[in-house]
Amino acid sequence: MLLTVSKRLEFSASRRLHVEGWSDKENLAAFGPETNARYGSGRNYVAYFVFSGPVDPATGMLINISEIKERAGRIVRQRFDHKFLNQDNPSFRAVPPTAENIARQKQYPCCYSKDGVNAWSLPIEHLLYRQRYHG
């Protein structure tokens, strides 16, 4: 029997939408007033980590949900939670942390394929759909 299990994790992060080589006018035109937030503006995010594969007949489980929480939680805490993405996440040192640029990180290192269990995180449109602005 095939089964899909998901784990929902929430995190908060700050970001500034700004391109270093552009003028203030160009940044304002592209990103709006958020570009002026020198130390970023806060957001809440929701990430879903999805695992799919056969159920282990001995345990009756696809994967222990605690393992998902531990693996995915570690990645979220290390790379995203309570971070100023522009400075604390190396992926955003050269590019602004827009939804599109965050989408390029849609496959997290906690995801794996083992014993027929395939794991992935959903594309960023799912990760960010519950984004909330904290001015």
pLDDT: is 91 or 130 the higher one?
Answer: 91
- Give the separation between CA 31 and CA 47, rounded to whole angstroms: 24
Question: Whole-structure pTM over 0.85, yes or no?
Answer: no
Q: Mean of the pLDDT values across residues 3-19?
A: 87
Supply the pLDDT for residue 70. Answer: 83
Flag whether pLDDT at 48 surpasses 80: no
- Whether the pLDDT of residue 85 is over 50: the answer is yes
CATH topology of domain 2-133: Tetrahydropterin Synthase; Chain A (3.30.479)
Domain ranges of the chain: 2-133
